[in-house]
């Protein structure tokens, strides 16, 4: 049996998507792969806390901010492996087999999931394909794709930095492309922001933020532009 996993989910008023996210983790519970699900909550005012408690999650109060919530959750997690997942993302049913195989066969590497959007729009397939190519070619998955990493490797690279935006990119850059595996199981994430803003407009806006960050732009300034 592979080492057990702590799933860490940062939450803030996540009641709309949280149930679907947690439901997708049930195969891992049945397989005995999960040790715990940790919800690091940034001060939700909706039913997020109640949903988490009802589901048997470990509820941890955190300062608001995704990087801080991820760091807080990781700091209190008890598993040998950590699986970071956004509250509006659910995993495909085959994630258990793919994750268990990765832990057994590639213990020195992190892994991320193949991105898919919960949308029938053709633009959703275009954008997901672009993100998956970016992961394969450059080793730059976003947090929407989830991240599986051993506690040992997470600590060795310093974990998530406490920055206002691009904490996911900072961590995978610290890992480097050679230490990131793209799993075939899917991370199926919400398309709400793309449907609101327009697929291409938001996609190119996000790409512009990433480009500026890679050139050294201040994450605090980028965060003020990100909605």
Distances in whole angstroms, Cα of residue 156 to Cα of each of 5, 24, 48, 95: 18, 29, 32, 25
pLDDT attached to residue 227? 78
Residue 8 has pLDDT above 60, yes or no: yes
Residue 2 has pLDDT above 90, yes or no: no
pLDDT attached to residue 195? 96
Prediction pTM value = 0.96
Name residues whose C-beta falls within 8 Å of residue 41's C-beta, 6 or more positions apart in sequence.
10, 11, 12, 48, 49, 52, 59, 60, 61, 62, 69
pLDDT attached to residue 128? 97
Residue 1 has pLDDT above 70, yes or no: no
pLDDT tens per residue across span 20-58: 999 999 999 999 999 999 999 999 999 999 999 999 999
Domains of the chain: 5-225 (3.90.550.10)
Name residues whose C-beta falls within 8 Å of residue 47's C-beta, 6 or more positions apart in sequence.
15
pLDDT attached to residue 3? 67
Among 95, 109, 118, CA closest to 29: 95
Map tokens 């992961």 to a residue.
135
When the pLDDT of each residue in the chain is averaged and rounded to a whole number, the result is 96
Mean pLDDT of 124-145: 96
Residue 181 has pLDDT above 90, yes or no: yes
* Pairing of β 89-91 and β 180-189: antiparallel
Mind giving me the DSSP string for 12-23?
A: SS-HHHHHHHHH
- Classified as helix, coil or strand, 100 is helix
Residue 204 has pLDDT above 70, yes or no: yes
CA-based angle 95:78:71, to the nearest 5? 85
Residue 76 has pLDDT above 80, yes or no: yes
H-helix or E-strand containing 117? strand 110-117
- Tell me what percent of the chain is helix, strand and coil, each rounded to the nearest 5: 50, 20, 30
Structural tokens at position 107: 């213990």
CA-based angle 79:48:75, to the nearest 5? 30
> pLDDT tier at 80 (50, 70, 90 boundaries)?
very high
């Amino acid at each position: 049996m592979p080492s057990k996993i702590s799933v860490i989910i940062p939450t803030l008023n996540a009641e709309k998507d949280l149930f679907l996210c947690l439901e997708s983790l049930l195969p891992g519970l049945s397989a005995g792969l999960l040790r715990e699900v940790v919800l690091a909550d940034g001060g939700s005012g909706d039913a997020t806390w109640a949903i988490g408690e009802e589901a048997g999650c470990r509820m941890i109060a955190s300062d608001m901010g995704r990087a801080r919530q991820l760091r807080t959750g990781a700091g209190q997690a008890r598993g040998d492996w950590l699986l970071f997942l956004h509250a509006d993302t659910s995993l495909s049913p085959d994630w258990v087999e793919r994750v268990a195989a990765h832990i057994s066969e590639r213990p020195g590497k992190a892994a991320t999931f193949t991105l898919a959007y919960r949308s029938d729009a053709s633009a959703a397939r275009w954008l997901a394909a672009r993100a998956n190519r970016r992961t394969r070619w450059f080793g730059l998955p976003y947090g929407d794709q989830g991240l599986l990493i051993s506690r040992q490797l997470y600590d060795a690279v310093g974990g998530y930095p406490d920055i206002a935006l691009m904490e996911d990119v900072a961590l995978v850059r610290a890992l480097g492309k050679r230490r990131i595996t793209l799993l075939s199981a899917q991370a199926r994430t919400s398309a709400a922001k793309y449907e609101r803003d327009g697929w291409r407009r938001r996609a190119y806006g996000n790409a512009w933020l990433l480009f500026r960050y890679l050139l050294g732009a201040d994450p605090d300034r980028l965060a003020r532009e990100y909605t």
